[in-house]
Amino acid sequence: MKQVYFTGDSIISSLGFSSQENFNQLKNGITGIRKMNNPVFYPEPFIASLIDRQKVNVLFPDDQYTLLEKILILSVKDALKSSYVDISSGKTVIILSTTKGNIDLLDKSLAARFDKQRVLLWKLGEMIAGYFGNPNKVRVISNACISGVLAINDAAMLLQNDIYENAVVVGGDIVSKFVLSGFMSFHSLSPEPCKPFDTNRDGLSLGEAAGTVILSVNPPKQNEKLLFAGGASANDANHISGPSRTGEGSYIAIKKALKEAEIETANIDHISAHGTATPYNDDMESIALSRHNMSSIPVNSMKGFWGHTLGAAGIIETIALLWEMKHNTLIQTKGFQEAGTVEPLNVITQTEQKELNYCLKMASGFGGCNAVLVIKKVNS
């Protein structure tokens, strides 16, 4: 099995147009979640974390591309700057993670400018590959909120097994009337910015973002390297929208990922949870971690900064984890004040320093799916 290295990355979100910009805001405890009042999205005021869309159009004025395509492409372009990977090479595969793609094109007024096919996710992939001149078919993963982590796991597996040398993993979703109204019908949106793990948590906040992480079997030049150590997915086999009361899928995924990484639970220095701030999700994760005796490991959720960015979540939150590891910094859980999960969690409440060598990323989604990955730091 080949070693898989993390090379460049990029986050485009409400907090900025690069990973560095975003990480600075995380360190300073700044959230991108805002109160919004825009009937285009929803008939009543709502809470969400939106990208500066005007700036997107300034950076990428070509209106032959949709909003989502613009932010995905901008994200890939930015990530390539800090990577040595050639995206136009046949040895590089692009993997796209998205839940609803260009779903705003169902709106006839927007759709007029674009071909009907653009709403299809494989076509979205083609637009990205076409822009960068990549010759391979884009692998499009649409697996609810675990899409991002699943896409990184898929990339690693392809590289470990010599199918490709490099993988550009890009993910994104936009806030739209389609998605906002759907979550509203579930009464799962908080009327305030979300509070992960908090005793008063009452729902998630939606966000939009694009994230890119670039993996390669060719090691980066620097001494300190971050590698993919293991990953797995598992289904709760319980309910299509309610998380498992025993954290079953998360438990199994963590078990398999740690086995692949050849480490014990005690080796994990820090966990970036899914932490959507719904009553059930956060309880479920606390149960899964408790079953693994991992309750005392410092854990955070990024959802209080970016909101839940769906297809982008697994990617941008993994990038945040990579940056935490690079800087041996634990970022606080924005929105958290008082513990309130059924099993205890060691929630990071203040940004602080810690030596980080092995970290775990968790994700869960509608359909009872769960996915995790493990990152390790190596000094040569």
Residues found near other proteins in the complex (CB under 8 A): 39, 43, 99-101, 103, 106-107, 119-123, 125, 137, 139-144, 150, 154, 157-158, 160-161, 163, 177-178, 181-187, 232-242, 248-249, 252, 256, 260, 365-369
Nearest distance, CB of residue 1 and other proteins, angstroms? 8
Classified as helix, coil or strand, 148 is helix
Closest CB to other proteins among residues 55, 106:
106
Classified as helix, coil or strand, 104 is helix
- Measured between alpha carbons, how far is residue 248 from residues 241, 243, 302 in Å? 14, 9, 23
Closest CB to other proteins among residues 105, 348:
105
Q: Which structure tokens are listed for 19?
A: 């990973």
Neighbour tally for 261: CB within 10 Å: 21
Closest CB to other proteins among residues 110, 339:
110
Side-chain-side CA neighbours of residue 359 (13 Å): 30
Nearest distance, CB of residue 203 and other proteins, angstroms? 11
* Beta strand 298-300 pairing with 270-272: parallel
Nearest distance, CB of residue 66 and other proteins, angstroms? 16
Burial of 196 (0-12, 13-18, 19+ CB in 10 A): buried
Helices 147-160 + 313-326 axis angle, to 10: 70
Dihedral angle sign, alpha carbons of residues 301, 306, 310, 311: negative
Closest-CA residue to 181 (of 284, 330, 300, 48): 48
Closest CB to other proteins among residues 252, 320:
252
The b-or-e profile of 370-379 (16+ CB within 10 A means b, else e) is bbbbbbbbee
Closest CB to other proteins among residues 141, 194:
141
Closest CB to other proteins among residues 119, 375:
119
Closest CB to other proteins among residues 163, 266:
163
Nearest distance, CB of residue 189 and other proteins, angstroms? 12
Dihedral angle sign, alpha carbons of residues 118, 124, 129, 132: positive
CA distance 212 to 226: 16
Nearest distance, CB of residue 101 and other proteins, angstroms? 8
Closest CB to other proteins among residues 137, 327:
137
Closest CB to other proteins among residues 100, 334:
100
Nearest distance, CB of residue 118 and other proteins, angstroms? 12
Closest CB to other proteins among residues 125, 196:
125
Beta-carbon contacts of residue 316 (< 8 Å; ≥ 6 apart):
11, 13, 22, 148, 171, 209, 211, 302, 306, 309
Nearest distance, CB of residue 38 and other proteins, angstroms? 12
Nearest distance, CB of residue 242 and other proteins, angstroms? 6
Closest-CA residue to 211 (of 102, 362, 312): 312
**Residue whose tokens read 């998380």:** 243
Query: How open is the CA angle 379-333-5, to the nearest 5 degrees?
Result: 25
Nearest distance, CB of residue 212 and other proteins, angstroms? 19
Nearest distance, CB of residue 80 and other proteins, angstroms? 24
